[in-house]
Amino acid sequence: MMKGKLILIIGGARSGKSKFAEKVAIGLGSKITYIATAASLDDEMAERIRLHQAFRPKDWITVEEQKNVIEVMLSGCKGDVFLLDCLTLWLTNILLDDQLPEPGTTKSKKELFIMEQAAGIADVVESGAHLVVVSNEVGMGVVPESSLGRSFRDLAGKVNQVLASKADRVYLVIAGLPLELKSIARNDSVFDI
């Protein structure tokens, strides 16, 4: 069985990354499973989710799963492509769940669990399916005020790095414009000073 492609799409809030990810997914295959990690916790978030759903092609399979995304991808969901939107919401869901990986887990064990799960997400392409992952770039702003905020920012950066290192392509989307990063990083002249 051939390995699938892993495409990571990062950017800031409302940068156009989800819309771009959907185009990438369509280019990779015809049977697409959309894994939505957002939780509808208030009216505003419910409306955001509704708008995302309204613009998604009707023939896509949508699975709403906030934490166990690897299970979804390895379970019997058939398709050419998985589109995971969004990795940072998934990270938030796990970070705030005091039952994962087990009740009373220390901060360092929680972080190790998250990093292992992130690597597992990237490894799903070994099954032959393509994987498009949407994630937020949260490390370009101010230092968060709270310890939890700093932990989230640091983990998001580390998780993005894990996926980027394993990805076939990494796109940074700014103002709806995608910039492919891995080809730039491979260009040795960029590092000549």
Question: pLDDT tens digits, residue range 53-96?
Answer: 777 788 898 898 999 999 999 886 667 899 999 999 999 999 99
Residue 13 marked in a binding site: yes
pLDDT score recorded for residue 191: 55
Residues 6-28: pLDDT tens digits?
999 999 988 999 999 999 999 99
d(CA 151, CA 17): 24
Number of C-alpha atoms within 13 angstroms, CB side, residue 102? Answer: 1
Residue 16 marked in a binding site: yes
- Burial (CB count within 10 angstroms: exposed 0-12, middle 13-18, buried 19+), residue 183: exposed
Q: What one-letter code names the amino acid at 114?
A: I
Residue 85 marked in a binding site: yes
Q: Is the pLDDT of residue 188 over 70?
A: no
Phi and psi for 63 in degrees, rounded to 5?
-120, 120
Task: Determine whether 130 is an active site residue.
Answer: no
Q: What one-letter code names the amino acid at 17?
A: K
Higher pLDDT, 153 or 183: 153
Residue 12 marked in a binding site: yes
Residues 108-162: pLDDT tens digits?
999 999 999 999 999 999 888 899 999 999 988 888 899 999 999 999 999 999 9
Assign 190 a pLDDT band (cuts: 50, 70, 90).
low
| This prediction's pTM | 0.90
Q: Where are the beta strands (DSSP E) in 5-47?
A: 6-11, 32-36
Assign 171 a pLDDT band (cuts: 50, 70, 90).
very high
pLDDT score recorded for residue 43: 83
Residue 17 marked in a binding site: yes
How far from 148 is each of 2, 37, 125, 155, CA to CA, in Å? 40, 20, 31, 10
- Burial (CB count within 10 angstroms: exposed 0-12, middle 13-18, buried 19+), residue 169: middle
Q: Is the dihedral of CA 140, 141, 142, 146 positive or negative?
A: negative
The sheet with strand 61-64 has its strands ordered as 61-64, 32-36, 81-85, 130-136, 6-11, 169-174, 177-180
Domain architecture of the chain: domains with CATH = 6-187 (3.40.50.300)
**Catalytic pick from 52, 56, 169, 182?**
52
